[in-house]
Amino acid sequence: MAFVGSEVGIQGDAYNTVGRDQYVYNLNLSNLKKAFRSLAERAAINACYDSEQRFPPPNCHPGTRANILATLSEWIESDLKTTKIFWIYGSAGVGKSAIAQNLSEKYASNKLAAAFFFSRNDSTRDKLEPVVATIAYQFCKSGSPLKHVLGPIIIETLRSDPEIFRASHEVQFQKLIIEPCSKVEPALWENLPNAIVIDGLDECVHLPSQERFLALIQRATTSPLPAPWVFIICSRPELHIRDVFDHQDFGEILRRLAVTPSAEAYQDVRRYLVDKFAILRNKHRALRCEGASWPGDDSIDQLVKRADGQFIFAVTVIKYIDTRDEPPQDRLDAILRVYVGHGSESPYSDLDLLYRQILSTCPRWHRVQPVLRLLVTPDDGMIQRYDEAAHWRSLSMIELLLNLKGSEIVTSLAKLHSVLLIPEGDHSNIYIAHASFTEFICDINRSGEYHAPQMTDQEYSDCVTTLLLRTLSASKAYYPPHHPQSVFTTSLSSWVDRLQIWDSRLHFSCKYWYGYCTEVDSPSPGLLAALRTFDPYSAVAVHLFYDSFPALFVLEDVIEWAESFGESTQDFVKICKSFLHGFYVAFPPDTPRNNIFWWTFRLERCLYNSKYYRNWFQRDAVRKLFAVTEYEDWVDHLFVMLLSDSDTPVLPGDWAVVYIAKANGEVFQRVAGALCDHKNGLELLLDDVREDACETVLQELVQDGELFHLKALMNERRKSFFPEYVDWPSDEEYYSLSESSSEYSGT
């Protein structure tokens, strides 16, 4: 009946384990890896206590927070405790995250089952969505004592229900966190980790989600199913969180501890400052002339008093002083000279003055403010859903989003290393070091002239749209049809090489530029300039290669949006209207004629918002009319050139060129819509085309002009693609198209 680690093993390609009550799991290894990969993709790795993104994480300075850590350690280690949740609360900057980190590291090898560190400054861990997956991932990952106990059960749950992460958080929590425990022998939990640390619950940006999560853990700790979990929750004492914990449902399972200014907190801050100043004296050449007592008890006492138990104040002071740009003594003197009047209404008045002092050292605030505004603005989720590894707050991306030079950004932020986490590389995200700085610069009453609020939705959409359009325009310069015919071969080779190298930003630009575009009510000069250089031909050619057959009809919405801005967007409107009316598509010489034929119809359908069932009507009509093999609607990479009238002369003669007209697709859609539900609609249409009749018109099913257009289109396609056809093939005839495009005569 036991479920122990020794019973877990991989034999051949199977993963076998036996659980309580003889639950047997025989998982194919490839399925196991696939399920675990899906779990890892849903997890917020940045939220783990040992994540690289949080390095170096906040931690308790040696010898500080001794009583608090002792109390919490005793609770974690006790087998006799009756409470299941320990709430540690306190104001911003008192060191709650450091306490959570200290406990996570201390008990990582024996008592810690999982940890989740929320942060409003990191869009991967500022919401409830990834919490369950992240906790379950830590149960299953390599090195976890729970891997061989809960791992197979969780993986089997994921394998049997691949869509579980579309279910509610309550269902996810029940299936992945609670129910697996019921399949484990209770006695085994004596030697297994059971503590789950949650830090910064108040930094979950959706307030109702905070209450929802507390309801989840309340049910988990009172569940009729045997679940061993205990929770350490760290947060600010926000009213809605306090109200939830004050409810009677938490009465017997909750223990609390307030982290407040106290004599012990003052001593801890003093110890931290004394130790750090000693390190600075040894580190900085400029301080070697100072005595061993520098900066003196009076200075340290003043800093301790102003910190008022807030470790973030002391930490930021040390970071600010620890610089080679200026003598550390001068920076310390600047901090000590700033005085706070006792009449200040801000609960963070000394911290505010410290932040103001830091920002005052920035010589070009007009350059710094846009960067800070971008850093405090969460992305809209679209980017993160598209690519979880995207670093849209990295130096390289900030440079592009704000149209600044990288050197300007580096210089502008050089004085802000005490409040920002700036990585060495250009492609890793820059983060704000502490939530209190975000709150400061976003609150004009506190920051004054250093106010740097979040971008509005309009501003952010404008910023992203401009970048996406510039990204598309950059590829335009390499587009072969925009080069003379004499260099077509060379430019084509360069174009192919660029497409072969995956560019996630270019792909994202193709898919989403128009969605962001129409969200902007008043385009900035930068966006208007980007619209003027937009080229739909090269942009859609890239999109076809990356995604195949995009919904080109959305351009109608973009055109309507752009027309509202009058002359400033008239060039953009003109080229988009021309493109949407129709364009040439050129296929390389080695493209099978069968593919060109079918893709021609498919591309015309892309120009309007068609109904799915009408697509099938069109498919059957074309297949029977031309007696051709089934078409391939999907292709991994559709490599074509899209051309305007002026581009066609640059192409070599062996490229197959087809004209794609929106009107063709619209007529086919309307005719299909009129006939698809008629009993003999398809047969009537085929007879009308083959016999040049008009029975569908006589029966008042189709308009005369539309039938004429459709018949002309079908005859033109027959002559272009099937010059060998003397007449229309009968239903009994079947022709297989050549795999070469050489027989294609053009249209």
Predicted confidence band at 731 (pLDDT cuts at 50, 70, 90)? low
Most confident of 136-140, 287-291, 349-353: 136-140
Judgement on whether residues 152 and 251 belong to the same structural domain of the protein: yes
pLDDT in tens, 75-105: 999 989 999 999 999 988 899 999 999 999 9
Each residue's pLDDT tens digit, 542-580:
999 988 788 899 999 999 999 999 999 999 999 999 999
Helices marked H in 78-130: 96-106
Instruction: Evaluate whether residue 562 is within a structural domain.
Output: no
Residue 21 is predicted with a pLDDT of 47
Residues of the chain above pLDDT 70, percent: 89
- pLDDT, residue 335, reads 87
Q: How much of the chain exceeds pLDDT 90, in percent?
A: 58
**161 with 200, same domain?**
yes
Average pLDDT over residues 111-132: 95
Q: Are residues 51 and 72 in the same domain?
A: yes
Looking at 283, 308, 337, the residue that finishes a domain is 337
pLDDT, greater one: 1 or 578: 578
- pLDDT per residue over 693-720, tens digit each? 999 999 999 999 999 999 999 999 999 9
DSSP for 434-459, please give it: -HHHHHHHH-HHHHGGG--PPPPHHH
More confident position, 486 or 744: 486
Number of domains in the chain: 5
Q: Which residues pair with 421 in a beta bridge?
A: 431
Tell me what pLDDT residue 308 has.
87
Greater model confidence, 635 or 293: 293
Establish if 2 belongs to a structural domain.
Answer: no
Mean pLDDT value across residues 194-203: 97
Beta-carbon count within 10 A of 399 CB:
18
Q: In the prediction, which pLDDT does 226 show?
A: 76
Going edge to edge, which strands form the sheet with 641-643? 641-643, 582-587, 656-661
pLDDT at 737 over 50: no
For residue range 480-513, what is the model confidence (pLDDT) as tens digits? 888 887 788 888 888 988 888 878 889 899 999 9
Half-sphere exposure of 322 (CA within 13 A, CB side): 17
Q: Are residues 497 and 600 in the same domain?
A: no
Quote the mean pLDDT of the chain: 87
* DSSP at 197: E
Residue 1 pLDDT class (50, 70, 90 cuts): very low
- Domain check: are 734 and 664 in the same one? yes
Distance, first Cα to last Cα, the chain: 74
| 63 belongs to a structural domain | yes
Res 255: pLDDT? 97
Total-model pTM = 0.74
Last-in-domain residue among 420, 455, 490: 455
Domain assignment present for 646: yes
Residue 418 has pLDDT above 70, yes or no: yes
Is there a single domain that holds both residue 435 and residue 382? yes
Domain that holds residue 533: 459-547
Q: Which of 1-10, 392-401, 641-650 has the lowest mean pLDDT?
A: 1-10
Report yes or no on 554 lying in a domain: no
Shared domain check, 269 and 249? no
Residue 4 lies in a domain: no
Residue 60 to residue 50: CA distance in whole angstroms: 15
Residues 581, 533: one domain? no
* Segment 515-541, tens digit of pLDDT: 999 999 999 999 999 999 999 999 999
Q: Is 421 helix (H, G, I), strand (E, B) or coil?
A: strand
Kindly state whether residue 7 falls inside one of the protein's structural domains.
no
The whole-number average pLDDT for the span 619-648 is 78
Together in a domain, 658 and 730: yes
Domain of 221, CATH number, reads 3.40.50.300
Same structural domain, 603 and 692? yes
- Amino acid 14: pLDDT: 42
| Helical H segments across 322-434, by residue range | 328-337, 349-360, 365-376, 382-386, 395-401, 406-413
pLDDT of residue 29: 62
Q: Is the pLDDT of residue 2 over 60?
A: no
Q: Which of 626, 630, 652, 627 is nearest to 641 (CA)?
A: 652
pLDDT band for 395, please (50, 70, 90 cuts): very high
Do residue 600 and residue 635 come from a single domain? yes
Give yes or no: residues 532 and 592 share one domain.
Answer: no
Question: Do the Cβ atoms of 452 and 618 come closer than 8 Å?
Answer: no
Return the pLDDT at 186.
86
Report d(CA 233, CA 436) in Å as an integer: 19
Q: What angle do CA 201, 203, 205 make, to 5 degrees?
A: 110
Nearest to 218 by CA among 186, 196, 244, 256: 244
CATH number, domain with residue 393: 1.10.10
Query: Is position 6 within any domain?
Result: no
User: Tell me: the pLDDT tens digits for 333-382?
Assistant: 988 887 555 445 555 578 888 899 899 988 889 999 999 999 999 887 67
Beta bridge partners of 288: none
Helix-helix angle 612-626:681-691, to 10 degrees? 40
Which segment of 117-121, 642-646, 657-661 scores lowest on mean pLDDT?
642-646
Is the pLDDT score of 18 beyond 50? no
Please check the confidence at residue 52 and state whether its pLDDT lies above 50.
Answer: yes
